[in-house]
């Protein structure tokens, strides 16, 4: 199994940390992983993206042009990455701020209203964990117990009391993701 | 003992590895894309963990000369920078090589020339392997292709540096530095005591005792004949290194008609391209030099006896390709494909480059 994923959105949406938690979860499950952020001037207040690769085998290129799963969290990322989903692959998006819906017919498209759900939960910070939950429902490549371990390893000790809240958000994402 | 696995950036792995190795000192000056090295050190407070000194110098020039001073005392010292900052260190490196001192340096390469860009590149190959500073000297150059190798090469690098009393360079790039991967962390080694340093480094300036002559660390000798003799001694050392320290990984070369030659990040891209090409039935292999000096010339020369051609993939306008040509010595076609200025070629683009090469274009 090799899953090549890109997560793209605004800087500050928790794109990089979501990728890190996913990567750590894969590591805890005993898999090979790579986490490659976009870095450079475009990150200052602009868009941010991260490639995460989880595999049973040694990971080759961390730079990709096509992905098994694309997760987009703003319109710019939708414009840039919808075309990069492999045929038969998966596109997950939050409709908040999306003005042009995806149009491809050869991929599986899922919607998660993460911004709204986070707001309902009274904590905008769990937004990215709701998105992660949606991903894990659609592509169940990592067991829940490893996700929890992933959280434990990627969050600083002082934030460990928030792990149950994060797991709750992941559950929420799993329950609320909708196939288009 | 249970393996300790961590998810780390290449830049962080370097710093953790140095602490775990029991290194004595790091002197650095921040520059993108390797600022995480000094950031990680500062966060870890190595003086508390092992007694290791970490200092932000006032400039790159100061940092490399602090390394020079520490190395002269037998300390395991290192510095790191990225291309423009690394250029500033060349004078110091030439002096350290001339004084035959061990040290570890890291260059997380970004696009040049000049200030260039902050994105990854491999355009410092010539500087790293052919000199860079003045005079007839060589660095031992290790080229990691993963975060694990960033970690592992710290120990290998320091060990080689002390074995040969020669500076060792880890030549990385913005991708390996910024990327996070799984790293297996080794045990914490205890830093050498001063007695152990004196025993291991009888040449170091550790304080003159009655039973020996003064140790003098210098790269200056105004008597030309003695300097020539010294140069010949260095050549002998470099020849020993060429003989004994070549490291190289060959993947799918046994049945290959054509091979990629690529190091570091480019080798990772080529692994993907090779898989894509093999799925289409093309017998393509990959030679990944791990040491760039000494260069795996013999391995490439051996392959030149039976493969049809070599395509080097570099994020440069073609630098390592010259070493491949020297090794192949006209026996087979050798070509280069690369992107520059911080642009990273895609695996698909490399597939096309190989197909064109195989067609003889």
The tens digit of pLDDT for each residue in A97-135 reads 899 999 999 999 999 999 999 999 999 999 999 999 999
Strand runs labelled E in chain B: 4-9, 25-28, 53-56, 77-81, 103-109, 140-142, 167-173, 180-185, 248-251, 258-261, 284-289, 291-293, 309-313, 334-337
Residues of B in contact with A62 (CB under 8 A): 175, 179, 265, 268
Determine the pLDDT at residue B353: 98
Mean pLDDT of B104-121: 96
- Residue B46: left (phi > 0), alpha (psi -120 to 50), or beta? alpha
Do the Cβ atoms of B7 and A20 come within 8 Å?
A: yes
pLDDT digits over A167-177, tens only? Answer: 999 999 999 99
* Tens-digit pLDDT profile for residues B52-96: 999 999 999 999 999 999 999 999 999 999 999 999 999 999 999
Per-residue model confidence (pLDDT) at position A38: 86
Instruction: Name the band, by pLDDT with cuts 50, 70 and 90, for residue B129.
Output: very high
Mean pLDDT of chain B: 97
Q: What is the pLDDT of residue A47?
A: 83
Structure tokens at B162: 């002390």
Residue A174 phi, psi (nearest 5): -60, -40
CB contact, 8 Å: A37 with chain B? yes
Determine contact, residues B58/B88, Cβ cutoff 8 Å.
no
Structure tokens that stand for A81 in this block: 């990455």
Query: Of B312, B360, B307, nearest to B338 (Cα)?
Result: B312
pLDDT at residue B131, as a whole number? 82
Partner-chain contact A40 B7, CB within 8 Å: no
pTM of this structure: 0.95
Q: How confident is the model at residue B1 (pLDDT cuts 50, 70, 90)?
A: low
Chain B positions touching A41 (Cβ under 8 A) are: 118
Residue B158 CA to residue B108 CA, distance in Å, equals 18
**Whether the bond into B230 is cis, omega within 30 of 0:** no
State residue A17's pLDDT score: 93
All structural domains of chain B:
4-195 (3.40.50.970), 248-358 (3.40.50.920)
Subunit contact B7:A64, Cβ cutoff 8 A: no
3-class DSSP assignment, residue B276: helix
| Rounded CA separation B131/B78 (Å) | 19
pLDDT of res. B2: 65
Report pLDDT for A30.
95
Any chain A CB within 8 A of the CB of B182? yes
Kindly state whether A62 is in contact with chain B, defined as any CB-CB distance less than 8 angstroms: yes
Q: Is residue A40 pLDDT above 70, yes or no?
A: no
Q: Does A41 touch chain B (CB under 8 A)?
A: yes
Bridge partners, A37 (sequence order): A50
How many CB pairs below 8 A link A and B?
A: 68
Shortest Cα distance, chain B CAs vs residue A116, angstroms: 31
- How far is residue A141's CA from residue B292's CA, in Å, rounded to a whole number? 38
- Asked whether the predicted pLDDT for residue B99 surpasses 60, the reply is yes
Residues 6+ apart with CB under 8 A from A67: A4, A5, A6, A51, A81, A84, A85, A86, A89
Residue B251: predicted pLDDT: 98
Q: Which residues of A touch B271 (CB under 8 A)?
A: 58, 60-61
CA distance B67 to B276: 45
Q: How confident is the model at residue A42 (pLDDT cuts 50, 70, 90)?
A: low
Token pair 């076609």: residue? B333
Please give the average per-residue pLDDT across B313-329, as a whole number: 98
How high is the pLDDT of residue A39? 72
> Helix H segments across A13-126?
15-28, 75-81, 114-120
pLDDT at B125 over 70: yes
For tokens 């039935």, name the residue. Answer: B281
Judge whether B18 and B77 are in contact, CB under 8 Å: no
- Residue A55: in which H helix or E strand, if any? strand A47-55
């Amino acid at each position: 199994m090799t899953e090549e994923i890109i997560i793209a959105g605004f800087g500050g949406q928790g794109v990089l940390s979501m990728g890190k938690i996913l990567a750590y979860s894969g590591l805890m499950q005993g898999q090979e992983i790579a986490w490659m952020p976009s870095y450079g001037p475009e990150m200052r207040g602009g868009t941010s993206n991260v490639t995460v690769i989880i595999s049973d085998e040694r990971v080759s290129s961390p730079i990709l042009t096509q992905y098994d799963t694309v997760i987009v969290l703003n319109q710019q990322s939708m414009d840039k990455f919808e075309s990069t989903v492999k045929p038969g692959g998966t596109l997950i998006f939050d409709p908040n701020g999306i003005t042009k819906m995806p149009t491809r017919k050869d991929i599986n498209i899922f919607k998660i209203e993460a911004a709204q759900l986070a707001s309902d939960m009274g904590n905008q910070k769990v937004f990215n964990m709701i998105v992660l939950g949606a991903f894990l429902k659609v592509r169940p490549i990592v067991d829940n117990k490893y996700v929890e371990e992933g959280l434990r390893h990627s969050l600083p000790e002082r934030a460990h009391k928030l792990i149950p809240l994060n797991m709750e958000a992941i559950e929420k994402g799993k329950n609320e993701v909708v196939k288009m | 003992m249970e393996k300790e696995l961590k998810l780390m950036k290449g830049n962080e792995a370097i710093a953790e590895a140095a602490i775990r190795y029991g290194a004595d000192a790091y002197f650095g000056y921040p520059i993108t894309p390797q600022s995480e090295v000094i950031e990680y050190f500062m966060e870890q407070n190595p003086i508390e963990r092992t007694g290791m000194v970490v200092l932000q110098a006032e400039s790159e020039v100061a940092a490399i000369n602090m390394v020079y001073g520490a190395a002269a005392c037998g300390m395991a010292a290192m510095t790191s920078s990225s291309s423009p900052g690394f250029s500033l260190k060349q004078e110091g490196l030439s002096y350290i090589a001339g004084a035959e001192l061990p040290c570890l340096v890291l260059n997380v390469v970004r696009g040049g020339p000049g200030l260039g860009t902050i994105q990854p590149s491999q355009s410092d190959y010539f500087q790293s392997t052919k000199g860079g500073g003045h005079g007839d000297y060589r660095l031992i150059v290790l080229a990691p292709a993963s975060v694990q190798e960033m970690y592992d090469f710290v120990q290998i690098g320091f060990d080689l540096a002390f074995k040969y009393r020669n500076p060792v360079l880890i030549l990385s790039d913005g991708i390996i530095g910024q990327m996070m991967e799984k790293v297996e962390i080794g045990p914490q080694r205890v830093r050498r005591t001063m007695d152990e340093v004196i025993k291991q480094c009888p040449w170091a300036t550790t304080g003159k005792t009655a039973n020996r002559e003064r140790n003098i660390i210098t790269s200056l000798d105004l008597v030309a004949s003695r300097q020539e003799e010294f140069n010949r001694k260095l050549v002998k050392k470099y020849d020993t290194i060429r003989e004994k320290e070549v490291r190289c990984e060959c993947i799918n070369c046994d049945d290959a008609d054509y091979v990629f030659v690529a190091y570091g990040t480019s080798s990772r891209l080529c692994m993907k391209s090779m898989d894509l090409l093999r799925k289409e039935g093309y017998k393509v292999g990959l030679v990944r030099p791990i040491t760039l000096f000494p260069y795996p010339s013999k391995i490439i020369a051996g392959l030149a006896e039976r493969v049809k051609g070599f395509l080097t993939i570099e994020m440069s306008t073609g630098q390592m390709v010259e070493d491949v040509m020297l090794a192949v010595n006209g026996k087979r076609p050798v070509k280069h494909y690369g992107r520059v200025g911080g642009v990273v070629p895609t695996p698909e683009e490399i597939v096309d480059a190989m197909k064109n090469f195989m067609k003889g274009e």
